Chains A and B, each alone.
Chain A
Amino acid sequence: MKYCFKSIGLLIKKYPGYLFVQIFSTLIAIARSILPIYVVRDIINYYNDGKGIKEIAGYVLIVFGIIAVLAFIDYILGFFTMNIQRLFVGKTSEEFYKKLAEIDYDFHENPAFLNDYTRALEQGVDNIYQVANNSFQTIRILVQSFSLLSVFSILAKDNFMIIIFAFVIALIYLLIYIRIGFLSKKQHKLQRPFQRVSWYSNRAFSIRDGMADIKTSDIDKLLIENNEKSLDSAIKVYDKYASRITAWTYVGQIFLILLYPAIIGLLAYKNTELAVFASLTVAATNISTLISQLATSIGEVESVLPDTKVPFDVLAMHGVIEGIKGKEKVDSFTSLDIENMSFSYLGDKNQLEDISLHIKKGEHIAIVGANGAGKTTLVKLLLRLYDPKTGIVKYNGKDYKDLDLKSLRSKVGAVFQNVETYAVSIAENILLRKPETEEDYKIIDEALKFSGLVEYVNSLEDGLNTELSREFFHQGLVFSGGLNQRLAIARGYAQNYELFILDEPSSALDPIAETEVYKNMLAMGKDKTIIFISHRLTTTVNADKIYLFDDGKIIEEGTHDELMAKDGLYRKMFVSQSKKYIGDDYE
């Protein structure tokens, strides 16, 4: 219920006009359902009073003229509602996205959390609107039903039995629907996991990269069998609950159906006049329609309501790291110091343990180690996506936590291991914003040269403006692995970071391209401080300092020569990688 009001509150706060539209259309709806009730009675009364066709026609035309005008106004109000819905969902989504960008990174990485939240979040704003709108609809139908019941009572005058009967039926029907709502909630909850399998199957069979597996192995049979089994289970759940729901629905129907004959029976018994009788039958029809609408409307609110909790929770969330204005903007990079830093993901064992390292402006640092040694976790800490559990990270001697996050991230930045492209133009994919000035285009051009993409991009018909998606743009392009990686490097370059982190930047590049990119990096000179992160030791030979990570700890550090002299793990790794190239006997 709480989220019902919250949803309504949010909608009204943003679009107060919505409230007026709703009040207006409620009034119109009442008028439209009550007016016809009187028409039949009045015609018969005119007839009984011996009036002519002119009077009847005049009366009918006036009443229906009013109804027509109201219907037209209602239609236009429908436009207002529609426009408000679209804008509300659109604009609120944007706020939501901004909020998502400002919640801490661990929210995105916590799988247990994500499983429950992702779907609810994806539909979040739609659900908020849905709940608000359906609540209004429910209120409208309630008001409408109430007015109709009043009219009904006035018409029925002394037939208290009928009035009581109508009210009792309405009440019973509602109670039954509460029961039904409860059952279908349970049913959906139980069916959901099976439905997710069905969605997954659709995805698995439409991923382009999965086609080769489907053609060359029996994985398709396995997936199909899983899907069928899962849907069979869903049907079993359905059978159990839907049969009960059906039974309840039927009981409700019976009551509603009995409204009619009961009125007629009672009238016959009481000998009421025909005009009133005619009106009452029309009113009864309208009431029964409204009651079943009411049940549906409440059911709709109930079915979405649970999903509105999550988006509101998220809106109320505050990051410990993100979205907090730091006190101090950062200056040009001079040094980075990590002191005795340890880190663990929620409840896990330490991913990084007692790490200390020091980087000065202009240095080229290599961080190496096996898969899972904690290299990528370190990147996340350097970007302050996480805070360390113990220890401290300092930029120019100042604790990360005291610095303004946005300005910190404009100086310290990374090219990530998993390269993502966006459905925007190549230029925008590199700059990550709209290029506006000459200066912007100059940077893009340099970045393209730097990553070796310039010739390729120039050969494209739309050049820099080529959109990187075929989903929305017919002329669009989709990059392959090697091109993607070059794009990412160009992106990193264009961001003009002063401390530039490259996380496995060359895994998809061929050897010549790889070397070329490294040469360019090294040529960036002393303005840039670079951290190479790699499990390949090709970046290490010329690095100013190498840190070897193993199981979350720094186990060796020094220059290449120092580490080779040490005869430790680094040497072993280096030999294992290089012996095919330069033979077993290094030195």
Chain B
Amino acid sequence: MNERPRVKTSVIKMNLYVLRYVFKFCPVYVVASIFSIVASVVIALAEVNFISNAIDLVMKGEDINILFKNLIIYVIVILVGYLVKTIYDRFISNRYRMVYRKKMQTFLFNKVKHIDMASYDNPEFYDKFSRALGDSTWRGMQVFTTFVNFVESISISIALGAYVLVKDAWLLGIILLSAIISLVAINVINKTWYKVYRKSERSRRYQYYVRRTFYQQKFAAEIKTTSIGDLLIDRHTDAINDIDHIYRSAEKKLLLPAGINIFSNVILQNALSYIYLGYRLLNGMSPSIFTATINATLKLYNNFMRAISIYTNLREHSYYISDFMWITEYKPNIEKGEGEVLEEFDNLEIQDITFKYPNTNVNSIDHLSMKLNKYDKIAIVGDNGGGKTTLTKLLLRFYNPETGKILINGKDIRTYNEASIRAQYSIVYQDFQIYALSIAENVLMRKVNGKEDEEIVKKALESVGLLDKVMSFKNGIYTQVTREFDREGATFSGGETQRLVIARVFASNANVYILDEPTSALDPFSEERINKLIMQNVTNKAMIIIAHRLSTVVDADKIYLIRKGQITEEGTHQELMAKKGRYYEMFTTQTELYLKKEKADE
């Protein structure tokens, strides 16, 4: 990930790559930019030209009317020119920044769906990805602005250069010479800063981390009651010192190139131009041309430097663009959106699958086989880290198994369109999320369309025992969840949130329910209620339920015990109990917790 583009072409290529999106998302802006550039050139020329003309006229003692005529033309040209510039700079630029942001967000968000789950397991990818998501919403416009500035400066330089060239070729030589020297010095300076930036990045991010920690409510109690706050501040101080050291040692290195830059800028360019023009003045150059040329020279130099420094900007951009390119050019293995559409789930068969996560050595799933028919209710139990959740991810085709096959209706799921497979399932994840949307939308996970949907939501909320609470809010099922955007937003306790998430399942019309630890945060009464609901009321669905607490699974049609990625026991509760194996052991351990016994230390 630390591969930085070194070759010039690749830097420029990357920048051009991102420009494509500016052209695509904001064509109007691109056209407007052309007008703005033309206006800038016209203004620059008009100013230089007018001064020299005016001085000439004054010197020659011409009729004041001619001067005023000149003046009026100048004023009109300038007023129009600045009108274009102001509208562009003050209005159009920022407006299209917002348009670009909007379109780019939508573009990237749509990409997210098509990134393989396996990629998220790679921390480097994840780093890149979240950085790109934030940065890309404006970087393209920044690149475009850099190019516009470049074209503008170059155009002005050429126009003014032509003006100066007409007056004196030597002068242009002086400017070019000092510009080249400055350029070399500035390049050294920029490189040094870039290194500083890279070197101090980790410490800077750590500072932000500490800041984040102190401002978040979830850390507040521990910070107040333990010494963790002091530890974090210590680490923060280390980071400050580290950064300070990096900066100070860089600053010493910068003195020489900075000195050279100033020398070339002030002495070579400024002083030499003045001396040279003074010499010309002595040799018969008219004072009016002298003044105008000095004016043009200063402008030319500034524009020229601005144009030349573009490369530094482009290189900085390219570093970020590489992340963006990586996402846009991403080729998924799984999330391709191709294949046959699976219409209706009938049965599922897992045939001897093996799977391990990228960058790990241990098989998370190891030669596992299993069957699920249309209305089966199966339970999966086992230790932490035994592979239960991994199995559900394979069923959803977040990953492909390394060996073996998963069949739905007798066909390998790899032949189906992945979205159509997932449409068959409704899932309660262990790490569930709620969204800053309305309650109804959080339950449906889509837009609410009409009365019918409202009924579905209400019914689902009722079955998990949340309807009364929800209807007590002013906006009922349309109450916003979280107070992030709405002061009147609803906040739910841990157990209530979990029930809200379970309601999603009941509101869906999927054929298979997957419930991964659905009752971990529920109190006994809610738990019993949900268990009953799942086991008794849901008759026309297939179900896979994962649980630590075995009381949840007693009534399942079949129980699979998974250890180290393998099925070690399977059967009904009665069969497994009779077997007196691991399941029996687990069950009795849990039972013992409910039986009074002699204390261990007595």
Contacts and interface: CB of A to CB of B under 8 A. Distances in A.
Given A68-B267, A205-B112, A573-B525, A257 B98 contact: no
B233 A56 contact: no
B131 to A, nearest CB: 9
B494 to A, nearest CB: 7
B250 to A, nearest CB: 10
Given A60-B274, A472-B205, A522-B600, A261 B71 contact: yes
Contacts of A253: 82, 86
A428 B218 contact: no
B147 interface: no
B593 A513 contact: no
A340 B5 CA distance: 70
Interface in A367-389: 369-373, 380, 383, 385
A385 B224 contact: yes
Given A249-B90, A472-B202, 14 more contacts: A57-B278, A68-B267, A105-B221, A193-B485, A202-B105, A238-B94, A250-B90, A261-B74, A278-B287, A322-B224, A481-B430, A508-B520, A537-B524, A580-B550
Contacts of B291: 40, 274, 278, 281
B422 interface: yes
Given A198-B101, A577-B594, A511 B586 contact: yes
A93 B259 CA distance: 34
B106 A228 contact: yes
**SS class, residues of chain B in contact with chain A:** helix
Interface in A241-260: 242-243, 245-246, 249-250, 253-254, 257-258, 260
A239 interface: yes
15 contacts: A60-B274, A68-B266, A79-B254, A86-B244, A90-B239, A93-B211, A198-B105, A200-B484, A211-B112, A274-B55, A414-B225, A420-B218, A537-B524, A541-B595, A560-B596
Contact of A574 (B87, B495, B594): B594
B278 A60 contact: yes
B209 A91 contact: no
A197 interface: yes
A115 B523 contact: no
B205 A53 contact: no
B225 A385 contact: yes
Interface in A121-163: 121-122
A228 B213 contact: no
B524 A370 contact: yes
B44 to A, nearest CB: 13
A65 B266 CA distance: 8
A265 B91 contact: no
A432 B233 CA distance: 12
A332 interface: no
Contacts of B236: 90, 93-94, 97
A269 B231 contact: no
B210 A97 contact: yes
A509 B384 contact: yes
B174 interface: no
A581 B590 contact: yes
Contacts of A109: 217
A209 interface: yes
Interface in A451-471: 469-471
Given A64-B266, A371-B494, A56 B290 contact: no
The secondary structure that dominates the A interface is helix
Given A201-B105, A201-B109, A541-B595, A535 B522 contact: yes
Given A52-B282, A576-B524, A200 B224 contact: no
A108 interface: yes
Interface string B94-118: 1100110110011011101100010
B206 A581 contact: no
Contact of A82 (B87, B126, B247): B247
Interface residues of B, number: 170
Contacts of A201: 105, 109
A370 B523 contact: yes
A407 interface: no
A121 B137 CA distance: 25
A518 interface: yes
Given A93-B236, A217-B446, A243 B91 contact: yes
A29 interface: no
Interface string B232-243: 111111011001
B120 A115 contact: no
A582 interface: yes
B206 A472 contact: yes
Contacts of A574: 594
Nearest to A231: B102
A432 B207 CA distance: 18
A174 interface: no
Contact of A101 (B47, B90, B214, B263): B214
B210 A115 contact: no
Interface string A554-587: 0000001100000000000110111111100000
B335 to A, nearest CB: 7
Nearest to A285: B295
Contacts of B86: 246, 249-250, 253
Contacts of A114: 217
A61 B589 CA distance: 93
A487 to B, nearest CB: 13
A538 interface: yes
A316 interface: no
Contacts of B487: 112, 115
Contacts of B585: 512
A217 to B, nearest CB: 4
**Most A C-beta atoms less than 10 A away, residue of B105, B225, B291, B548:** B225
Contacts of B393: 212
Given A250-B82, A511-B550, A535-B523, A56 B278 contact: yes
A61 B79 CA distance: 38
A371 B123 contact: no
Nearest to B82: A253
Contact of A274 (B106, B287, B335): B287
B526 A370 contact: yes
B491 A235 contact: no
B429 A212 contact: yes
A535 B495 CA distance: 10
Interface in B523-572: 523-528, 548-551, 554
A242 B94 contact: yes
Interface string A54-67: 00110011011101
A522 B599 contact: yes
A190 interface: no
B445 A218 contact: yes
Contacts of B425: 216
A201 to B, nearest CB: 6
Contact of B589 (A223, A380, A495, A511): A511
A517 B219 CA distance: 24
Given A97-B214, A118-B215, A581 B221 contact: no
Contacts of A369: 523
Contact of A538 (B210, B295, B594): B594
B32 interface: no
Given A100-B214, A424-B231, A215 B398 contact: yes
Contact of B447 (A225, A482, A561): A225
A111 B385 CA distance: 36
B469 to A, nearest CB: 10
Contacts of B447: 221-222, 225
Contacts of B217: 108-109, 114
B279 interface: yes
Given A250-B82, A482-B384, A221 B227 contact: no
B112 A470 contact: no
B448 to A, nearest CB: 10
A512 B590 CA distance: 8
Contact of B597 (A121, A542, A581): A542
A353 B113 CA distance: 49
A222 to B, nearest CB: 6
